[in-house]
Amino acid sequence: MDQRNLQTDWLRCFVAVVDAGSLSSAATEVHRSQSAVSMQLKKLESALGLRLIDRGSRKLELTPDGQTLLSYARRILDLHAEAHIALQGEQLTGQVRLGVPDDYAERYLTPVLRRYAPQHSGVEIELVCEQSTSLIPRIAGGELDIALVSRDHGRRGTLLFHEPMVWVGAPQFELWRRDPMPIAVYESASLARRSAIQSLAQQGRRYKVVYNSSSLAGQIAAVESGLAVAALTQCSAPKHLRILGRDENLGPLEPMEVAVYRSRESRASKAVDSLQALLVRTLRQSAPA
């Protein structure tokens, strides 16, 4: 076999396994059986004469050669999708139901839509802004076509980057000096809430929940008014608030895994194909360091 002939199906399965973290989760993403995904990986490794993924442990890990191939594989697949869109010879039409949390909308979604809308003026985008815990079930139920979300570890979706979490407080109130420290948190299922509570528990830091809201604006208002300290995504933290850390006796927070989820019902939509490709390409380039 010609070792330079890297079939896109092989590369797609390889990237899906890396992003999903397991063969079974990747199989769901590419709509193949787990055995078929495993076979595609073996064909890719055979064509290259290299081992790409270490399957010896419970968690799949990339070999150094796998790390090298991954960035090339992503670029090849992105270009492949772009070529299909550019050569379709038809104007895309239809509707895309897109979900995104408030804290990712301005920072990450705006530049994507700014590029997408002029190219595909025939596509109507219905934007739904809710927390990830609400968007993920709506993707699974077919109520949304695609969503940019914070995912739980090991779940499906195409991983884009890790978004840092930060503690924030209003500098004039210094609530971080109180014991117990008053905190504002999201709803009980929120990954951000879980990260905040776990961080405080690991430190043995006493706290009191004084504000609950699924709204980013509500969280920021609670901090600005001197009601509480909050844990926010770094991209959503207003510059006038103080970022808190070791000097305030607050430990690190676990970052969010930002991923694109897509519904099964939208698999035949070229409009969703084009938006997903642009989301992945744009956000991987602009991911936080």
pLDDT digits (tens, 9 = 90+) for 28-43: 778 789 999 999 999 9
User: Which of 113, 69, 67 is CA-nearest to residue 274?
Assistant: 113
Given a cut of 90, is residue 87 above it in pLDDT?
no
Q: DSSP assignment of 28-81, as one string? A: HHHTS-HHHHHHHHHHHHHHHTS--EE-SSSS-EE-HHHHHHHHHHHHHHHHHH
Q: How confident is the model at residue 89 (pLDDT cuts 50, 70, 90)?
A: low
CB 22 within 8 A of CB 67: no
Which domains does the chain possess?
8-87 (1.10.10.10), 92-162+257-285 (3.40.190.10), 165-254 (3.40.190.10)
CA distance 232 to 102: 11
Given a cut of 80, is residue 220 above it in pLDDT?
yes
Range with the largest mean pLDDT of 105-119, 152-166, 241-255: 241-255
Given a cut of 90, is residue 286 above it in pLDDT?
no
Full-model pTM: 0.73
Please provide the average confidence, as pLDDT, over all residues in the chain: 89
CA distance 42 to 227: 56
pLDDT of residue 91: 77
Given a cut of 90, is residue 262 above it in pLDDT?
yes
Name the residue with higher pLDDT: 26 or 168. Answer: 168
> Among the listed ranges 187-191, 198-202, 259-263, which one has the minimum average pLDDT value?
187-191
CA distance 18 to 67: 10
Given a cut of 80, is residue 227 above it in pLDDT?
yes
pLDDT of residue 115: 82
pLDDT digits (tens, 9 = 90+) for 2-33: 456 889 999 989 988 887 778 887 887 787 89
